[in-house]
Amino acid sequence: MAEHWRHERAEPVAVGPPRRGMSRSERMRLERSRRKRRMAGAVSLALLVVVVIGVVFLGSTLWHKMFGASGNDFAGEGLNDVVIQVHDGDSTTAIGQTLHDNNVVATVKAFVDAAERNSGMTAIQPGFYKVRTEIPAANAVERLTDPQSRVGKLVIPEGRQLDDVSDVKTNAVTEGIFTLISKATCVNLDGQQQCVPVEELKRVAETAAPSVLGVPEWAVQPVAAMGADHRRLEGLIAPGSWNIDPSAAPQETLATLIRSSASQYAHSGLLETATAMNLSPYQVLTVASLVQRESKPEDFAKVARVIYNRLAENRTLEFDSTVNYPLDRIEVATTDGDRGQLTPWNTYVQPGLPATPICSPSKPALLAAEQPAEGDWLYFVTIDLQGTTLFTRDYNEHLTNIELAQRNGVLDSAR
């Protein structure tokens, strides 16, 4: 039985050194094959270890950057001043990401946690803010909620023109849009005050192509016709509150304001209304600027009607505001010498509308230009210091009204 079992069992397979019957070259090939297999296995294992370590490290790094514990935070007063932008609709996390991308806070989560502890974050407005790099998240929240950190805020009052203007009687200077833009670009970074000079804004307004400046299609032709005159952009920057990047180039700043204003004008229905009136949007905008400068809000619609009536009868408009415009001054009346100057804006000597708007009109003035009052008036004059204005179609009656204005000290009797 045992003998039978010994004959039936399988012989063991050799796993040791090659048999003596193999040639030397065969043994060498077999050894090289084994070494290659061992080497490949070692390399594969090493690569696997590297990949695992890399994945773990990268994942850990990203996790701590985005959502690390609130203790993963910067300390100290920071390194450098930097300006960041809060966009309209940004969530707290989005603001935190902007801060993290600019190396202001160490982690997004640290900022979000700090923001949740400060009720002022709920009132933060879109715009540009000066902060510092590498500051604690709580410090970043405090800076964003501090009104003094807000930069690049531009407010353009209604009726302003591009250049500063002076009041003839008081010598008071009303800052123009270029000056307001220049001041809005001022920011102190690490002790250095930086501003875009008014002269640089004017240079760009004179030389940059209308397409580069964002001039809307409906204004390109009249703007180009003015050549290298910075006033060609008059009226294309609407009044209102704007956020501008203090670090942007002058050309970019002007283009942003003009494009945004054109969009605002389009949304107000200017293009469709102008078409219905058989006018261009630029002409309606110019009429609105005259309305703004020539009257008080309660008389806007009547003055607009006077303008359209005079244009329809091919009469010169004869507005003192168009005489004063290129002179950069504010004055109710003008002299014979002033009215005799040949400029693209002087409506005493030039027929039709002035070459450009003479200011940035308000929404009420623009509405009056789009919806003038019904009437046959051709003349109007302000007769007292309270702003009472009389309208008439009869020229003799108008002369009587002028005499009344002179007696009341509104107009110079030598006019």
Per domain, the residue ranges of the chain are 80-150, 154-266, 269-408
Note whether 109 and 67 are within 8 A (CB).
Answer: yes
Q: Do the Cβ atoms of 104 and 134 come closer than 8 Å?
A: yes
Using CA atoms, how far apart are residues 208 and 200, in angstroms rounded to an integer? 12
Q: Is 311 exposed, middle or buried (0-12, 13-18, 19+ CB in 10 A)?
A: middle
Q: Does pLDDT of 312 surpass 90?
A: yes
List, as one string, the DSSP characters of 333-387: ---HHHHT---TT-TTTS-SS-SS-SS---HHHHHHHHSPPP----EEEE-STT-
Q: What is the pLDDT of residues 354-394, one digit of tens each?
A: 999 999 999 999 999 999 999 999 999 999 988 899 999 99
Q: Which CATH architecture has domain 80-150?
A: 2-Layer Sandwich (3.30)
How many angstroms separate the most distant Cα atoms in the chain? 150
Q: Is the dihedral of CA 179, 240, 226, 216 positive or negative?
A: positive
Query: What are 69-114's pLDDT values in tens digits?
Result: 445 899 999 999 999 999 999 999 999 999 999 999 999 999 999 9
Please name every residue paired with 167 in a beta bridge, in sequence order, or none if there are none.
Answer: 330
Edge-first strand listing for the sheet containing 81-86:
81-86, 127-132, 150-151
Question: In the chain, pLDDT over 70 holds for what percent of residues?
Answer: 82
Mean per-residue pLDDT of the chain? 87
Q: For residues 389-407, give the mean pLDDT.
A: 95
CB count in 10 Å sphere of residue 53: 10
- What pLDDT sits at residue 332? 65
pLDDT the model gives residue 330: 79
Residue 385 or residue 55, greater confidence: 385
Predicted pLDDT of residue 9: 42
What the block records as the tokens of 187 is 């920011």
Q: Residue 225: what pLDDT?
A: 97
- CA distances to 81, 182, 243, 344 from 188, rounded to whole Å, are 8, 14, 17, 40
pLDDT of residue 60 exceeding 90: no
Q: Distances in Å between the alpha carbon of 281 and those of 225, 274, 295, 301?
A: 16, 5, 21, 18
The answer to whether the CB of 47 falls within 8 A of the CB of 111 is no
Mean pLDDT of 136-145: 96
* Residue with more model confidence, 20 or 401: 401
Identify the three-state secondary structure at position 151: strand
Mean pLDDT, residues 126-146 taken together: 96
Name the pLDDT band for 39 (thresholds 50, 70, 90): low
CA 224, distance to chain mean position in Å, is: 23
Residues 6+ apart with CB under 8 A from 126: 86, 87, 88, 89, 90, 243
Phi, psi of 187 (to 5 degrees): -150, 140
Contact status, residue 163 vs residue 326, Cβ threshold 8 Å: no
Q: Is 158 a residue whose pLDDT tops 80?
A: yes
Residues 6+ apart with CB under 8 A from 252: 245
Give burial (CB, 10 Å; 0-12/13-18/19+) of 60. exposed
Q: What is the pLDDT of residue 263?
A: 97
pLDDT at 7: 43
